[in-house]
Each structure stands twice: as structure tokens, then as C-alpha cells.
Structure 1
């Protein structure tokens, strides 16, 4: 029965690998660039949307009242002031960044998502968004990021298989949280800089290693002190979070608030994952025969997917 299950699972994995490959990417983000060349006049264009993708084919900006487009020029009587929205965000793209370079050379970045569908501009480089608006936007972005980052979630699931729902899990998850918070903050503030591709490759490898540790039955370091192992790998995962946050952008007027609330959003998403796995575990535990057979094929599946990501990302590092 077990061999048949594992064999079937392997066939399913081969079929699903392309989907998991696409899903492992952190976020798909479009860029809309605006550069003020004269008071109230802007040149605008879309940034690159990825290989074979053109954001202008899938997204449509809606400018404030009093603004009109003339080809690649945006003319706003009285200045670019009001609400800017981008239709289509949430379908093909997880988010859209609106980058504004004002006439005085000051850059600003606004982030638009399916749940935060517009940004308010105030006609100058002064960012008048309230703290509540920024906190809400970046908390939601943090939740969306972790729930869309399947690699990070699979690492957390491996921790749950390794530790189980015991008191030790609190220290393990806390250590992972503390570690990725440290490197997220350090990297986002420019104190620590590493290239993205090697970081992503190590994140994938960390999932493989954690799946292997969870499969072992002997008393390894990961079983004796899972919090230490989680802390070490958490430092790397924090760099992955920081890479996504750099792509999204941080408002300079509310830098610390945006950074902290993004991290809070990540933790909310992480706790939601733990809660879902807990509920699923309780449900399956009522069927002892099935519950005993789930961990091994599940961990082999996770490890196989992560191994595929590892080789793929290592190849990207070598090619790059």
C-alpha cells in the first residue's frame, strides 16, 4: 500500500513540477514609471514584465480627474494630484509598483495590489499618506507575500513535521521568526547586501535538508535543538523576504512603519499556515491508519519539489 502510494505520488510530482516552478517565485510585479519633465507634465512607460510578458497588454492605469494622456505623455492640469488605480492587478500580476520621479529629483514608490487597488498622490514629492494607510497596505503585502511564497511555507511545514504540535514548537517558530526579522530589517535598510539568486538557491536547499531531518528517526541536532536550526535557516529566509520587499519599494517618509508592518504581515501569514496544518492534523488524527502513513510520502514530496528548485536555482546562479 505504501509503495503504491509513493509511486503514485512520484508520478503526480512529475506532472506538477512546472506548476510548482512557477509558484515558487515570490511575486509577479509590474512597474509603471512616471517622470515629471515640466510642472504637471510626465513621461510614462511600463517596465519589463518578465520574459514574454508586456504589462500594457494586461493592465490599465486610471489617472486622476484633470489628467489626460498624449501618447507616452501624461498631462495633469494643476499637478498630479488624486487617486491613481491600475485595473487588472490581482489577475496576472500580484502587485504593481508606481514609481514617480518628481521634477525636483525626488523619487517615490507606491504599491498597488488586489486588496489595495489605488494610491493617492498629492501633486508633489511630499508623501501625505497617513500612517494607518501605510500600515494597512504593507501588512496586507506581507500576508500576500508569505502565502504566495510556497518555498517559505514548505519550510514551515517541514518544521511542523519535525517538531510536532508540542511546547517546543513555540520556541522553534519564534527562533525562525526572530532570525528572518533580523535579516529582513538589515537587508531592507541596506546594512546587508547579497545577490538574490544564491539566496533563493539556499532557501530551496534548506527545505530539502529540513525534509531529510524530519524523515530521520535518530536523535539528530535538528531534533534535539530545532530552534537553533530554525534560527540559522531563518537568517537566509529573511534575505528572501527582503528581496521581495525591495522590489515592492518602501516609502521614505514612513520607512520604519512600512518595514515593521510588512514583517507583521509575514508573521500573520505564517501563523495562518500553522493554524491550517493544525486543523488538518487534528482531522486526520481521527483516522489513525491514514495519519500514520501521511508524513513519509508528504516529506518525500516536499523534498523532491525543493530539490528540483535547488538545481534549477543553482543553474540560474551559474548562468548568471
Structure 2
């Protein structure tokens, strides 16, 4: 029974063969003059077929000046439209009847001379009510939840964290390694977002996959190594690269004008919250297997390591030649 449980956990860990990047939809509603607004939105593609462009619902006091225009870009459909509003938009709804393809949509309302309003639209709440004044809590809440989603749905970053915990296993050593990883990716995330540093996204994604393969190799190989002696250093160095990956996801989302520090900090806090939840879950599973059947722990770890390594190798090849 324990072996079945350990095998199932390992298979779940290694199941996804495609990294799940955070690519939410977005809507930007920008006021150009007291009556004229510009509407732009992005709808990620969810199937290999031809998706139809969803048209947002707009405030009751507004009307489309002309038919919305749509076009395809890699991985998404984008739409643009001019909107005429005869009165105030405050208190009216903006969003979709239903989120196209599921997922989240980041909505930004950008009135002239007033702070930007930010909302996170979901399947349960596909439209938002435009407020009279922007709330700072909107930005903190929206970007925190997006950060949590990114780490929980971004399997490449997630597998690195899981492999790191499986390699170290001991409480204090895990704390040091995870702290080093957090510090490193926070530095590069902030640096890229503020325009201080930058790297092309394609090689970054390849090195992220390589980091997973390296940790999986260290998990199965016998004997000592510098990775096992100084896991915090490995976590820090690869954390710098993973930070560029997080920054790429944040660039896909976009940052609200005037609220960049709040959005950056809350997104990073969300990433850390999701990461700590994963670390705690892995440690609990390890402790459960150890208590129920200590002799099953090493076979379970080896099985998980091979699954993680195969997945990382697949991503590495795909990102180098795909």
C-alpha cells in the first residue's frame, strides 16, 4: 500500500510534460477624452482549433463607435475598439459575459487624471463594477493572487522547488536553500521589472529546464558533490535565472501605471506564499512516508527523481529546438 502511495505521488509530481506558463487574458479600458475611450483586450488561445474572439461587455452609458477589430498573435487573440460614453462609467459593469476558455482576466480601467483601477476577473466573477475611486487594495489583492497562481501553475518553477526539497530534506537546510532561492529570484524579478537588467526569454527558459535536470541528477547519483554540500548556493544561482522567468510572466500580465511597486511586491509575495505551501506539502508527504514505512522512502524518492528528470529533459530539448 505504501509503495502504491509513493508511486502515485511520484507520478503526480512528474505528470505534466508542458510547463504551464501564466498567460491570463487582459482588458485595458483607457479614457482618451471625456467621452472617448479605447478598449484593448487579449484572449489566450485554449485549443488547436480556431477560437472565436470574445467581445467584452461595456458600461450601459457606452457604445462601440465601430465594430471591434481582432487579430491573431502567437498564443492569443487580441481585440481593439473605440468606445463612446455619454455619461459616467462609475458603478457600471465591464468584463465578459463568461471568461473565454476559463482562466483569469486582468482588467485595468485607466481614467484621465485619476488613478488606475485594477480588477481580477474569474469564472465566478467575469465582470467588475467600476468604482468612483481606485482602491490600493485592488492592486495588492489582484497581483498577490496572480503570483500564487503563477507558482502553482508554473510547473517548471514548481518542479525545481520540489526537487530542491527532496535533495535537502532536513528542516534547517531546506529553510536556507528556499530562502536563497527566494532572495535570488526576488532580486532579478525586481531588476527586470524596473528596467535595470534583462535577458532574452528563450535561453532563460532553457536554463530553467536545465536546473531541473541538474537537481534530478543529483538526487539519483551516489556520493558527495558540491551541490549536496552547498544546496543554498545552487538554489541562489539558479534562482537568479528563475527570476527572469517570473519577470517574463509579469511582463505578460502588465503593471498598472502609478502602482508598479505595489504590484511588484504583491506579485512576489504571492509567488512566495504559493512556494511555501508547496514546500510544506512536500515535507509533510516525506514525513508521512517515513513514519508509515521508512524503507519505502528511498524507492519513492528515486521514482520521483526519474520522473522529474525526464520531464526537465523534455522541456530542455523542446526549448532548445522547439
Q: Aligning the two structures, in what range does the TM-score lie when normalised by the shorter sequence?
A: 0.7 to 0.9
Quick check: 1:78 aligned with 2:83? no
Q: 1:232 to 1:110 in 2, by over 3 A?
A: same
- For 1:86 and 1:305, the matched residues in 2 are separated by 36
Partner residue, 2:197: 192
Partner residue, 1:305: 311
**Greater fraction of residues in helix:** 1
Q: 2:215 aligns with which of 210, 216, 220?
A: 210
Compare 68-77 and 180-189 and name the one that shifted more: 68-77
Q: 1:62 aligns with which of 57, 60, 64?
A: 57
Quick check: 1:27 aligned with 2:22? yes
- Gap runs ≥5 in structure 1: none
- Gap runs ≥5 in structure 2: 69-81
Aligned length, in residue pairs: 296
**Paired residue secondary structure (2:105):** strand
Matches within 5 A, 1:254-293: 254-285=259-290, 286-293=292-299
In the TM superposition, residue 237 of structure 1 has moved relative to its aligned partner by 0.5
**Taking structure 1 as the reference length, what is the TM-score of the superposition?**
0.80
In 2, are the aligned partners of 1:109 and 1:250 still within 8 Å (CA)? no
Q: 1:300 to 1:264 in 2, by over 3 A?
A: same
In the TM superposition, residue 80 of structure 1 has moved relative to its aligned partner by 4.1
Quick check: 1:88 aligned with 2:98? yes
**Paired residue secondary structure (1:112):** strand
> For residues 224-268 of structure 1, what are the alpha-carbon distances to aligned partners after superposition, in whole Å with 9 as ceiling and x for unaligned?
111111000000001111111111111122111111011000000
> For residues 166-204 of structure 1, what are the alpha-carbon distances to aligned partners after superposition, in whole Å with 9 as ceiling and x for unaligned?
311111110000000000000111111211111111101
Partner residue, 1:248: 253
**Paired residue secondary structure (1:62):** coil
Quick check: 1:178 aligned with 2:214? no
Query: Which structure carries more relative contact order (alpha carbon 8 Å, separation 6+)?
Result: 2
**Taking structure 2 as the reference length, what is the TM-score of the superposition?**
0.80
In 1, are the aligned partners of 2:23 and 2:252 still within 8 Å (CA)? no
- For 2:51 and 2:120, the matched residues in 1 are separated by 14
Matches within 5 A, 1:99-248: 110=118, 112-114=120-122, 117-119=126-128, 121=130, 128-248=133-253
Give the CA RMSD over aligned residues: 3.2
In 2, are the aligned partners of 1:35 and 1:101 still within 8 Å (CA)? yes
